[in-house]
Structure 1
Amino acid sequence: MQFRMDWRSVTFDWNRARAFLVTAEEGSLSAAARALELAQPTLGRQVEALETELGVALFERSGRGLRLTPAGHDLLEHARIMGDGARALSLAAWGQTEALEGEVAISASDAYASYLLPPILDALHRAEPRIRIEVVVSNDLSDLSRREADIAVRNVRPTEADLIGRRLQDAQARLYAAPDYLDRLSRPGTAADFGAAEFIEIDAAGSLMGLLNGQGFDLGPDNFPYRCRNFTVMWEMVRAGLGIGILDDRIGDADPSVERAVPDFGPIAFPVWIVAHRDIARSRRLRVVFDALVEGFGG
């Protein structure tokens, strides 16, 4: 005997399950409401409606927000499976069209989005004017599986099983400074001459200081009076003469307001990847944008 589901009897509301799932993952109604772009009272009513529908309490309030009840813990994995299924359905539906029109979201760092992406997008728009591009600016890795973007420009290999990537020619980063700033330093010529120089650190971990000291510099915390995780802002600080910064030489060499701080200092190579969900194979539109990025970034 073959079992057949009577779908007329199924009245489950996915919006309520999604409200429960995101609230559990975010830890509070306010954070979940922001993630789903809903009013907090609306989200709260959806969670309460699901509790009423299932006949169980899913959350209990604690001093730091919401805490899952035992029943909530038991049902959370089922909600995650439903969420994965919904995302898979959305990805499959999104990619079925062969039309070269519609929206494509590209994730890139602030520096690439500001300086390298615009001419690529201009050429793409001239070739395919019906494709609309959303630029997602983030220095963190966008979650392509959760549709935070369709395609990403990254500096690391994708590790997720459902992602594919194309490694391009390695980019090269160099040290740059404003000419007036180098004049104030009497234009040091070697790494050993930069003891009095000021640099702009790129993260709280001191990555730039460690990187440069590994290349023959002798720098300490006093050489890094500034820190900025936003590369575009860091670059404006360099242009304003606040200190020395490091950036992709395709950007630095094209800017007439700065110079290479150490002309004979070898570049620091780093990888560039164009990454997408493997369902890109179903969408001609996404493939066209992917190929345009590969070509534009030097694939």
Structure 2
Amino acid sequence: MDWDKLRIFHAVADAGSLTHAGDVLHLSQSAVSRQIRALEDSLGTTLFHRHARGLILTEQGELLFEATSSMVRKLDTTAARIRDSEEGVFGELKVTTTTGFGTLWLVPRLAKLYDRYPDLKIDLMLEERVLDLPMREADVAIRMKEPNQQDLIRRRLLNIRMRLYATPEYLERAGTPERVEDMGAHRLICQNPQTPQVSSGAVLSQMVLAQNMKSTLMVNNYFGVLQAVLSHVGIGVLPDYLSVDFPNLIRVLPDIQSGEVPVFLAFPEELRTSRRVAAFRDFVLEEIQSLRRQQTEEEIANPSVD
């Protein structure tokens, strides 16, 4: 098959329109249409259903689009490897992690990474859904559990725990609970236990909510929980790594915490030699080591019962 016609077919299938594909390819609509008709003639089949609102792939068109999508991913990977073989770290890197870890820990540290690699372009996707790394939905993932997909290189970064935190201002006004039963007199800020989140956090929230809470604030991500805590709204369920960046937060009921949550960094085996992936991995590992040192120093200065 003609590679140029396949490239044009892929653009049309992706855009769902001859006009939009022409804009992407810098070709006229008539030129795109001629190439699609020629491809259909060479294959002896119809690739698109045509109607007033655009184009829809036929069953045969879907088969071809699946093949061209695979070709595009492989070409993108090859192009990335070629670029990475040159000196320097630059180009696009697709990173995915959870909304909480991304907004609370990763994003505040990215300025240092950009200082080191100013030509790097990061596409950061924050969501609870686990993206498919082998299918290149992302290049690198930081996940709150060990990935189970095949052909992934994975590295355990750290273990985190969910704990209870509040501001000195809130505790001065509302009092400091001495036992978990005292939590009923306070306002708990947490994610709804039924929303997607690390299971340990949901378990801790359910345990505290069982204390007949008089008032609660449910937020669908930990960034919102943190903002409410910092605004002295109540006592929040938050990951322990925040104690380093927000040293003024006071840990409430230090003998209560969630089970350990493992944090893994993973990327496809085929990106093992990528300079961008290596640069990002090494940067994250350096920051994690710094976090561990600070947490150790904090534990020594403020010992508590685990």
TM-score by length of 1: 0.72
Corresponding position of 2:89? 101
CA distance in 1, matches of 2:79, 2:62: 26
CA distance in 2, matches of 1:236, 1:142: 27
1:59 aligns with 2:49: yes
1:19 aligns with 2:12: yes
Equivalent AA in structure 1 for residue 287 of structure 2: G
CA distance in 1, matches of 2:31, 2:97: 34
1:77 aligns with 2:63: yes
Q: What secondary structure, in the 3-state scheme, does the structure 1 residue paired with 2:272 have? A: helix
Equivalent AA in structure 2 for residue 246 of structure 1: V
Corresponding position of 2:267? 276
Q: In the alignment, which of 174, 180, 202 is matched to residue 169 of structure 2?
A: 180
| 1:172-201, Cα deviation, whole Å (9 max, x unpaired) | 221112233334443212222212332233
Seq. identity, %: 20
The alignment of Structure 1 onto Structure 2 pairs a total of residues equal to 273
- Cα RMSD (Å): 3.9
Deviation at 1:134, TM superposition (A): 1.6
Corresponding position of 2:299? none
Deviation at 1:123, TM superposition (A): 4.9
Q: What secondary structure, in the 3-state scheme, does the structure 1 residue paired with 2:162 have? A: strand
Q: In the alignment, which of 134, 139, 152 is matched to residue 127 of structure 2?
A: 139
Corresponding position of 1:26? none
Deviation at 1:45, TM superposition (A): 8.4
Contact kept in structure 2, 1:16 and 1:49, CA below 8 Å: no
1:242-257 to 2 correspondence within 5 Å?
242-257=233-248
Q: In the alignment, which of 72, 78, 82 is matched to residue 92 of structure 1?
A: 78
Corresponding position of 1:4? none
Equivalent AA in structure 1 for residue 79 of structure 2: A
Contact kept in structure 1, 2:186 and 2:234, CA below 8 Å: yes
Corresponding position of 2:297? none
Distance 1:281 1:45, change over 3 A: farther
Distance 1:139 1:200, change over 3 A: farther
Contact kept in structure 2, 1:176 and 1:245, CA below 8 Å: yes
Answer with 82-91 or 183-192: which moved more.
Answer: 183-192
Equivalent AA in structure 1 for residue 269 of structure 2: R
Q: In the alignment, which of 152, 155, 168 is matched to residue 157 of structure 2?
A: 168
Contact kept in structure 2, 1:274 and 1:294, CA below 8 Å: no
Distance 1:235 1:66, change over 3 A: farther
Distance 1:220 1:282, change over 3 A: same
Corresponding position of 1:192? 181
TM-score by length of 2: 0.70
CA distance in 1, matches of 2:109, 2:141: 14
Give structure 2 stretches of 5+ with no counterpart. Answer: 293-306
| 1:113-168, Cα deviation, whole Å (9 max, x unpaired) | 44433675455456x44552425140233444454542222212223334322122
Distance 1:21 1:114, change over 3 A: closer
Corresponding position of 1:228? 220
Give structure 1 stretches of 5+ with no counterpart. Answer: 1-6, 24-28
